[in-house]
Structure 1
């Protein structure tokens, strides 16, 4: 990590030139004439390991940073220990500077939730939720403190367009993961009628947010992959009825520029498919991980993949062009190196 104080000072001044006015916990107004909205995001961040990317992320002058899950590695039901681990991440010099200059939103995954591959069965999920909300700076009087799950919406408004971020909770309500008979697959399919990823209330919330959206781009943040379903690890594909439900919901909603951002896998890749009733393809941009990766990765099936898998550490940049109705997806390495990219019109 390039902890050069002069560099951080210069980057900090660059980012601070953007005037940000937060009008509520869910709505942020950006006073910028730039026709492009820059999203930075990433996942799988061990708080006790060096993260070389905070200065690189600041150099991209993003309008928001999105935590995609596994923001720390805790795997504990000891809430005092969980708080200590979050505090360790908060005290990181590079992250602290980013947080002081850029709005931070996001969701959790299993390791910061507290239980590896955990779902609704985690006994300390209510307590863990409060610690997560503390880490995210959610006010004590926010409605998010009293409802179950960490899902949330964030609307960013600029003079040139709007971006809605819908951060899902794929842990708090998630049903049982079933083993697979194949020795090459950890999990199989749960096709039970009541098997769920999001739970009833979160589904209602998501449908309302999509169908009423006036945003130019709608980013759905899912800690686990949505389109990549064949690898046998955790994925929406473990719950095929839920996959079908989300696909139908997105297409029926008429929401513009729906894009899925995911993490979890310790690899980065682009997946894309065409859904019936949609005028543009659905892209799932997986960015994982920040401090460690699946460096021994060789291959795995993904019929929706575009390009190649990036198995080194990385973070994601998504440039949303309001004027040209285009998204530029970039998997990023250190010092501005673009490891892979994809452009999509909307």
Structure 2
């Protein structure tokens, strides 16, 4: 009688575990998860690597400032990259998930730097070493760190594009307003991406994909704060928007970092059947804690000023996308859902 009771309990427990497993599989099936983050000082604690690893996401994207080198000394820069790579929590995380990414000014080499930075070719190779770009990759042979990768899941394609907003970028126009650092330029010869990268981006967007996620590093939609933004080159913003409309690319999502804050921005474009969302997540180890407000006509929700990373879950069966600004201890600090 005792053995029978044990067997019944064992069978019941087995059924419960199987049911839970099936439910978990059902919940996760058809979902593609993207993690991203920016603004990471190697000398400061990063509370997120183990937490992000537990999400079992499909890819992690660096949004820039993986280190704070700010130097023309490539030996110093290499030491900083090696220090970051050898942080035990990051090393384990990077070995468990595909890593992509772009740079921003501090891992590019100098604060707010663009095409004028004289060590950019050497810096490029160090950055590509850091994110594990194969030695025979095309990006190794071209200027800049822009790249793309297609992921095929449940019969659908997710294209991830990382742009380089540093290597080719023209000089910025200093603002007259003392409350702002930069002002929009009227010089239409100025460029954000450069001729070759623009042509490459047009070709990438012409390729069929069910979702296209573009990492820009600097913000695209928020353009009133007077710091670095695509809005400093209004003609390049217009060109990007025209390209999206012309390409008929499905479900394009923008990601950005740089600002030491996190926020969602959204804009309706006449030629798109969906709103353009710019999800800003920054920073991983330090943030703009003295932030006291700034205008953003496209903002949805509130600005987050605590340490954060971005989590995107694409439901490939419904085309619904969940955007989450994640904080410590798995706290969802802000969320947004969009149907595509």
| RMSD value, Cα | 1.1
C-alpha distance in structure 2 between counterparts of 1:191 and 1:41, whole Å: 33
Structure number with larger C-alpha Rg: 2
Q: Which residue of 2 is the match for residue 268 of structure 1? A: 262
Is 2:193 the counterpart of 1:229? no
Q: Which residue of 2 is the match for residue 97 of structure 1? A: 92
C-alpha distance in structure 1 between counterparts of 2:279 and 2:177, whole Å: 28
Query: The residue matched to 2:182 in structure 1 has which SS?
Result: coil
Query: The residue matched to 1:222 in structure 2 has which SS?
Result: strand
Query: The residue matched to 1:330 in structure 2 has which SS?
Result: strand
Q: Which residue of 2 is the match for residue 238 of structure 1? A: 232
- Residue in structure 2 matching 1:36, options 11, 31, 37: 31
- Residue in structure 2 matching 1:119, options 101, 114, 132: 114
8 Å CA contact 2:154, 2:316 repeated in 1: no
- Residue in structure 1 matching 2:276, options 277, 282, 285: 282
- Residue in structure 2 matching 1:335, options 321, 329, 332: 329
Is 2:199 the counterpart of 1:204? yes
Return the offset for 1:82: 0.5
Return the offset for 1:136: 1.3
Q: Which residue of 1 is the match for residue 249 of structure 2? A: 255
Greater helix proportion: 2
Is 2:290 the counterpart of 1:296? yes
Q: Which residue of 1 is the match for residue 147 of structure 2? A: 152
C-alpha distance in structure 2 between counterparts of 1:143 and 1:164, whole Å: 17
- Residue in structure 2 matching 1:320, options 310, 314, 317: 314
C-alpha distance in structure 2 between counterparts of 1:336 and 1:306, whole Å: 22
Which runs of 5 or more structure 1 residues have no equivalent in the other structure? 1-32
8 Å CA contact 1:41, 1:317 repeated in 2: yes
Once the two structures are superposed, the pairs formed by residues 132-147 of structure 1 within 5 Å of their partners are 132-147=127-142
**CA-to-aligned-CA distance 1:96-151 (integer Å, 9 cap, x gap):** 11111100001000000001100000000001001111111112222211100000
C-alpha distance in structure 1 between counterparts of 2:321 and 2:155, whole Å: 15
C-alpha distance in structure 1 between counterparts of 2:257 and 2:145, whole Å: 16
C-alpha distance in structure 2 between counterparts of 1:73 and 1:325, whole Å: 37
Is 2:301 the counterpart of 1:311? no
8 Å CA contact 1:34, 1:160 repeated in 2: no
Q: Which residue of 2 is the match for residue 185 of structure 1? A: 180
C-alpha distance in structure 2 between counterparts of 1:60 and 1:136, whole Å: 20
Return the offset for 1:211: 1.4
How many pairs are equivalent?
314
Query: The residue matched to 1:242 in structure 2 has which SS?
Result: helix
Return the offset for 1:48: 1.2
**CA-to-aligned-CA distance 1:264-287 (integer Å, 9 cap, x gap):** 000000000101110000000000
C-alpha distance in structure 2 between counterparts of 1:100 and 1:160, whole Å: 26
Query: The residue matched to 1:252 in structure 2 has which SS?
Result: helix
Q: Which residue of 2 is the match for residue 49 of structure 1? A: 44
Q: Which residue of 1 is the match for residue 160 of structure 2? A: 165
